Structures are given as structure tokens and as C-alpha cells.
Chains A and B, each alone.
Chain A
Amino acid sequence: MSSETAMLEAYSKREYKHGFVTDIDADTIPPGLSEDVVRLISLKKGEPEWLLEWRLKAFRHWQSMEEPTWPHVSYPEIKYGDMIYYSAPKQKPLLDSLDQVDPKLLETYEKLGIPIEEQKALAGVAVDAVFDSVSIATTYKKTLEDAGVIFCPFSEAVHSHPELIRKYLGSVVPAGDNYFAALNSAVFSDGSFCYIPEGVRCPLELSTYFRINAQNTGQFERTLIVAEKGAYVSYLEGCTAPKRDENQLHAAVVELVAAEDAQIKYSTVQNWYPGDEDGKGGIYNFVTKRGACRGDRSKISWTQVETGSAITWKYPSVILQGDDSVGEFYSVAVTANHQQADTGTKMIHLGKNTKSTIISKGISAGVGQNSYRGLVKIQKNATNARNFSQCDSLLIGDKCGAHTFPYIEVRNTSSQVEHEASTSKVGEDQIYYCRQRGIPTEDAVNMIVNGFCKEVYQELPMEFAVEARKLLSISLEGSVG
């Protein structure tokens, strides 16, 4: 074996830079899951009766379900009874001003490079920060209010806008949709709610930053975004967690609703702790994300850069109900070391002339396993529907794997579906060629990987594209030379 192969193989010894723990007093309930726990969570949040009932129904449904085994991933049995379902920093969760936020929390976000003090914040980005089970701060509230945009913690919206929550909660991802969505519906803690009224173009990028801190705690957040007729919003979520030897479960649900001519652009930069070099620890990221293009000419795009988590299982999907509606999915998923990912999308075409685009880029290094799983379904009435899918895999070293599972169902004759797939390797000869031109190995690999992901980066908001590029090079750092 040449030393270049050895270098490529070493390509996964990375440092996780967000692995610190914040020492903070927390209100944590004992481990375990039962109806009483569901009631307790609801009680702690002071929720109305209907929401408690909704949770309990989901919980009972969950109890009758089985964990899915079809994803191309493997992990030891999750002991749902040993997990903690609620943990919150001890302080009043609803804050009028950042002065009331525990300085330790502000420090945490500072360290993570997430500015939540407005004067330091990225220009034009409003941030909601979720720490374990509660939202701790939302910035730029005033600017958003003036535009008529609602952007607040989910638990706050339950009280301030109960009619909207009641109308839309579970309307895209029903409580019993799948095993993890049902679990989330029963015990969800917090998350963000965004509502963009008719005709409003949201004046800021909205962003939620999720942080898991407490040990043995699951994070079950819920995000709901509603864009009314002609509205536009671009939303970004980021995620990190401390280094811990145990695996932690993150089972979120995201629902998007786009009315006529509305557009929602949802971007994720996911960097949960991936576990160590030997595959110990890390987050199980089992997430249900779905958008409904309810109105004609509406558009939903998912862009995701997934570099973290021990296991990723998610299929951000779009239901194209409105005529001429558009669904897009742009994804970069990296699996290094022992990481596993089974990710992709579902595009369900119901309306006429609906269009979907899928660009998926899977990168595997170390002994990582990366699967693309995608469904394109075109129903009988979705005449003249179009789909274009492109699934590319890049392998770094020769102990990793890439798999593609495309499912295509077309029920009419006027529609067109195109699927392209490729698998390539970061070859030793490519690295050698770059080095012969003076470019060191690590830079060469970054250059090749970035080139491979180019089409997806183009879809990310500017600052986040820069961030994503950095993240990717960190996740592959030390893996070569």
C-alpha cells in the first residue's frame, strides 16, 4: 500500500471543535417515558388541554409502533426508558431582554460562534437559540414584528398564537406519521415557530441554533414555518452538541406550509457530535422534515449540509399539491470515521406541471457508510410533472461505502423523470497531480471535495456557504496527511 493510500485512509481523524459542556443548573426530570412524563412536560410548559391531549394521543400511538429497521444503518438498541425527556436551564424561559439570560449561556453561544447579542449579530440574520429543551433567546424581535413576521419559540407561540398552532401543528407531518415523529409529537420540548403573513418578504434570514448540552437527554424539537400567499422566507438551522461517550437521540420534526406563490427556503448545517474515531458516542439524528406546497406556484427548497451525527436518518420531503409548484432538495452528506447516513428526499407530485429537482452529494471517508434514498412519486393527476435527480457519491479511501436507493413511481404518461448517478473516488493520482503542482494534500482534498459539492453550496445563503465549507474541511481534517 502506498503512503498516499495510507494518507487517504487516515482521512478521518478529525477534531470536533464544539465538544465542550456548559456547567449550568438545570431543571431536569428523571429518566423514563410514560404518560405521566408526557403530562409533566406539558405541565411544565403550562400548555392548554388540547395540546396535552394531542401529545397523549401521539404517545399511545407510538407505543403501538415499531422502530423502523429498513434504513441502511446499524446501531445498538435504543433504551427509550433510560433517556431523559426534559431538561432546561434554570431560569424563566421567556425573556424580554438578553440582560436576563444567564451569562454562562451567552458564553456558550459566543464560544460556538453564534452571536445572540444583537449588536454583534450577523447583519440581517435573526437568531433563535434552543438550549436542550427550551429556547433561550430570540433576536431582532422588533424588526420582525414591524414587518408582521412572527418568529418565536414554539412554546411561546402555543400561548401567543394558539389558533395558528392548532391549525398547522401536525398538518404536514401527522402525529402518527412514523416512529420518531410520533415520539417527537408526544414529548417535543421546544423549537421555533415562524409565520410570514400574506405578501410579506421576510426582511431577515431567520435562523435557529440548536444545542444539546445535558447528558442522557434526548432533544425533540419541533419547527413550524407557515408562509402565506406570496410570502417569502429563508430559514437556517445549525446544530452542535458536546462530546460524550454515550449516544444521544435527536428526533426532530419540521413542518413547512407554503400557500399560493409563497416560497420557503430551508437550509440546514448539521454538525452534531459525530462520535470519536472509534465510533464511540455521537448523536443519532432521526429527523422528519416535510413541506407542503399547498398553493399554486408555491416553492419549497431544502438545502442541507450534514457533516455531524453518528447516524443520520432523514428525508426532507415536499408534497407538491398546488399546480406549477416547485420542490427542491440540495444535499451534501459527509460520513467519516464510523459515521453512517441514510438520507435523501421524497418528492410527491400531486398538482399539474409540478417540478422537482434533487441534487445529492454523498461523501464517505474512513469506514463511513453513506446511502442516498429517494422517492419520486408522480400521481395520476400530476400531468406534465418533471423531476430531475442527480446523486453523486465521492469516496475517500477504500474502506468506506456509498449506496443509492432511488424509488420512482410515475402514474401518468405526460410526465418526465430523469435520474443520473455517479460514484467517483478521490484518487491517489488526483492528489499526486495536485501536489506536483505545489498544492499540499489537505488543500487538494478540500479543493476536490468542494468542487464536488459546488452545486449545493450555491444554494446556501452566502455566509452559511462559507461556514459550510469550513465545516466540511474541519470534518475531513487530518484525514489526509
Chain B
Amino acid sequence: MLEIKNLSARSEDTEILKGINLSVKAGEVHAIMGPNGSGKSTLAHVLAGREDYEVTSGEVTYEGQDLLAMEIEERAAEGVFLAYQYPVEIPGVSNKYFLKAAINSIRKYQKQPLIKTSEFLDLLKSNLAKLGMDKEMMERSVNEGFSGGEKKRNEILQMAMLQPKLALLDETDSGLDIDALKIVAEGVNALRSPERAIVVVTHYQRLLDYIVPDFVHVLSGGKIVRSGDRTLALELESQGYAFLEAETASA
């Protein structure tokens, strides 16, 4: 589904990603871990198309297409979804309106008829219930005045409504209380299917108890320095990232 080859990217003044290789197949769940500032969010944003970064080398194929050549909204309409580490506030635009606009924009791109209001409301109601969210929140402006945890939950609601093929979740667990973590994990697991893939960025093994990954990668200094199965996450939990440096130094 997603094939990243030797991907390097920079911001205006610094090299951040330095040759990433990663292959994600449909049906898989990958976890990306790594120290602060190692480039995890940057990788997610480069895949989503954020224009603050310049891709200096490498290529990314998504469902057989050149992902990097696509516009941001095209990627979204083709099923790429990013749950933001820092969700953005849009004053004056209600969550409900925003969700409907997003669904209809994607439908328009896919040349499908627009969603019926009743269908939309039913879908919204059932997803709100699943995520334990108050329906009154949908009348409020997008993320405005939402608590940290509410914002994260709102990202998952959007994901549930848009049903993406490739979901990139950037630290969706941070800021969530324990009950919310379970609820959000259930929301993510509900999306798991043989046609979809999920990439979760996290600092904590705890999330991976709920969303069990097929692969775990460690990103450090803009490179994937280790990959393994879920036991790698447990190893990191007990030993931290120090051993990585020792390893890379001795290699």
C-alpha cells in the first residue's frame, strides 16, 4: 500500500529526514517510536503533503501512485488521513459543518453523490456514541476551546467518519486519560481491516497493548535505526533509547 524509499526531507534550514525506508502493506499496523525531535511528525507531515518541507531525495508510492506528486487534498481524497499531534482550531466553523464539508469534498473528488443529511446525522450519531462524545460538541467550532484529550478524540472521530485507507496517527495517545485511551484504541481497532493500514506514532508501549502492532520501528536522527515486532516496544520501554546510541556508535 505504502512504499517509502530513501526519503530525505528538510525544513528551510535543516535536514530532518535522512533516507527513510519503510514498507506498509494493506492490513498491517506499524508503530513508529523514537526520541523527541527524531523526525516522526515530520515523516507524517511529508506523507500528508505539508508544504513547509522540501523532499530532497527518495520516492513514495501509495497504491501504485506517486504520492509526492499529489496535492494535499488529493491524498486525503485517496484515503490518506493524518491524526495531528497538535490539532488545529478553526473558529466559527462548527465540527458538524466541517465533517460534512470534508465528506462531501472527498465524495466530489471520487465522483460520488453528496451525502444525504439524514445519512450523515445517523453516521455521526453512531460514531459519537462509540467514542463517548457529547453531541453538543459538534455544534462547537472545530477544536476551539477543546481540552487536549478532547482534541485527540475529535481526530479519531474525524477518522471514523472519513474511513481512510491509510491512517497516520501522530501521538494520538498523549493527553488522553486511561479510559479515553481505551475508547480511542477501540475506535482505531474498529478501522482495522485487510484493506486498510495504520501507522501509529507513540512514545508509550501502553497504547500498543490496545492497538497491537505487527511491526515496530525506531526513528532516530531522521533514520529508521531498528525495526522489529512488538517485543521491540517492550525492550524500549525497559531500556530507553540509550542503547541505540551505544549500538550505532559501536557499529
B residues in contact with A430, CB < 8 Å: 88-90
How many A-B pairs have beta carbons closer than 8 Å: the answer is 80
> In the complex, which of the residues B49, B101, B141 contacts A439, with contact meaning CB atoms closer than 8 Å?
B101
Mask for B90-131, Cβ within 8 A of A = 1, else 0?
Answer: 111110011001110110010000000000000000000000
Q: Which residue of A lies closest to B84 (CB)?
A: A433
Question: B88, B102, B162: which has the most chain A beta carbons within 10 Å?
Answer: B88
Question: Smallest Cβ distance from B109 to chain A, in angstroms?
Answer: 7
Q: Are A437 and B98 in contact (CB under 8 A)?
A: yes
Interface: B158 (CB within 8 A): yes
CA A429 – CA B85 in complex, angstroms? Answer: 13
> In the complex, which of the residues B48, B81, B141 contacts A451, with contact meaning CB atoms closer than 8 Å?
B141
Within 8 A of B (CB), among A432-450: 432-441, 443, 447-448, 450
Q: Are B109 and A438 in contact (CB under 8 A)?
A: yes
Q: Are A452 and B162 in contact (CB under 8 A)?
A: no
Q: Are B91 and A452 in contact (CB under 8 A)?
A: yes
> In the complex, which of the residues B52, B88, B97 contacts A447, with contact meaning CB atoms closer than 8 Å?
B97
Within 8 A of B (CB), among A393-435: 424, 427-430, 432-435
Q: Are A436 and B72 in contact (CB under 8 A)?
A: yes
A residues in contact with B94, CB < 8 Å: 451
B residues in contact with A443, CB < 8 Å: 101, 105
Q: Which residue of B lies closest to A481 (CB)?
A: B71
CA A104 – CA B73 in complex, angstroms? Answer: 46
Question: Smallest Cβ distance from A350 to chain B, in angstroms?
Answer: 35
B residues in contact with A435, CB < 8 Å: 49, 71-73, 76
Q: Are A436 and B82 in contact (CB under 8 A)?
A: yes
Interface: A3 (CB within 8 A): yes
The answer to whether residues A432 and B92 also contact, given A437-B102, A439-B101 and a CB cut-off of 8 A, is no
Q: Are B90 and A433 in contact (CB under 8 A)?
A: yes
Within 8 A of A (CB), among B44-93: 48-52, 71-73, 75-77, 81-82, 84, 87-93
Q: Are B51 and A447 in contact (CB under 8 A)?
A: no
CA A433 – CA B151 in complex, angstroms? Answer: 13
B residues in contact with A439, CB < 8 Å: 73, 101-102, 105
> In the complex, which of the residues A3, A433, A450 contacts B51, with contact meaning CB atoms closer than 8 Å?
A3
A residues in contact with B90, CB < 8 Å: 430, 433-434, 447-448, 451
Q: Are B105 and A438 in contact (CB under 8 A)?
A: yes
Q: Are B102 and A452 in contact (CB under 8 A)?
A: no
Q: Are B162 and A438 in contact (CB under 8 A)?
A: yes
Q: Which residue of B lies closest to A439 (CB)?
A: B105
A residues in contact with B102, CB < 8 Å: 434, 437-439
B residues in contact with A434, CB < 8 Å: 90, 98, 102
CA A330 – CA B109 in complex, angstroms? Answer: 37
A residues in contact with B106, CB < 8 Å: 438
Q: From DSSP, what is the main secondary structure of chain A's interface residues?
A: helix
A residues in contact with B81, CB < 8 Å: 436
CA A187 – CA B97 in complex, angstroms? Answer: 49
CA A199 – CA B31 in complex, angstroms? Answer: 73
Question: Smallest Cβ distance from B90 to chain A, in angstroms?
Answer: 6
CA A437 – CA B49 in complex, angstroms? Answer: 12
CA A436 – CA B105 in complex, angstroms? Answer: 11
A residues in contact with B92, CB < 8 Å: 448, 450-454
Interface: A4 (CB within 8 A): yes
A residues in contact with B97, CB < 8 Å: 447, 451
The answer to whether residues A437 and B51 also contact, given A451-B90, A451-B92 and a CB cut-off of 8 A, is no
CA A436 – CA B89 in complex, angstroms? Answer: 14
Q: Are B76 and A436 in contact (CB under 8 A)?
A: yes
Q: Which residue of A lies closest to B107 (CB)?
A: A438
B residues in contact with A3, CB < 8 Å: 51
The answer to whether residues A447 and B91 also contact, given A2-B52, A432-B50, A438-B76 and a CB cut-off of 8 A, is no
A residues in contact with B98, CB < 8 Å: 434, 437, 447
Q: Which residue of B lies closest to A447 (CB)?
A: B93
Q: Are B51 and A438 in contact (CB under 8 A)?
A: no
CA A438 – CA B106 in complex, angstroms? Answer: 6
Question: B71, B92, B97, B101: which has the most chain A beta carbons within 10 Å?
Answer: B92
Question: Smallest Cβ distance from B162 to chain A, in angstroms?
Answer: 7
> In the complex, which of the residues B73, B84, B87 contacts A438, with contact meaning CB atoms closer than 8 Å?
B73
CA A454 – CA B48 in complex, angstroms? Answer: 30
CA A441 – CA B73 in complex, angstroms? Answer: 8
B residues in contact with A4, CB < 8 Å: 51
Question: Smallest Cβ distance from A462 to chain B, in angstroms?
Answer: 18
Q: Which residue of B lies closest to A7 (CB)?
A: B51
Question: Smallest Cβ distance from B115 to chain A, in angstroms?
Answer: 13
A residues in contact with B93, CB < 8 Å: 447-448, 450-451
The answer to whether residues A429 and B88 also contact, given A2-B51, A437-B162, A447-B93 and a CB cut-off of 8 A, is yes
Q: Are B91 and A438 in contact (CB under 8 A)?
A: no
- The interface of chain B, by Cβ under 8 A from chain A, is 48-52, 71-73, 75-77, 81-82, 84, 87-94, 97-98, 101-103, 105-106, 109, 141, 158, 162
Q: A436-B72, A437-B76, A450-B93 are in contact. List 17 more A-B contacts (CB 8 A).
A: A3-B51, A429-B88, A430-B88, A432-B88, A433-B87, A436-B76, A437-B98, A437-B105, A437-B162, A438-B106, A447-B93, A447-B101, A451-B92, A451-B94, A451-B97, A451-B141, A452-B92
- The interface of chain A, by Cβ under 8 A from chain B, is 2-4, 424, 427-430, 432-441, 443, 447-448, 450-454
12 of the cross-chain contacts (CB-CB < 8 Å) are A429-B88, A432-B50, A433-B84, A434-B98, A435-B76, A436-B48, A436-B75, A437-B76, A437-B98, A437-B158, A438-B76, A438-B102
Q: Which 4 A-B pairs have the closest CB atoms?
A: A451-B92, A451-B93, A435-B72, A433-B88
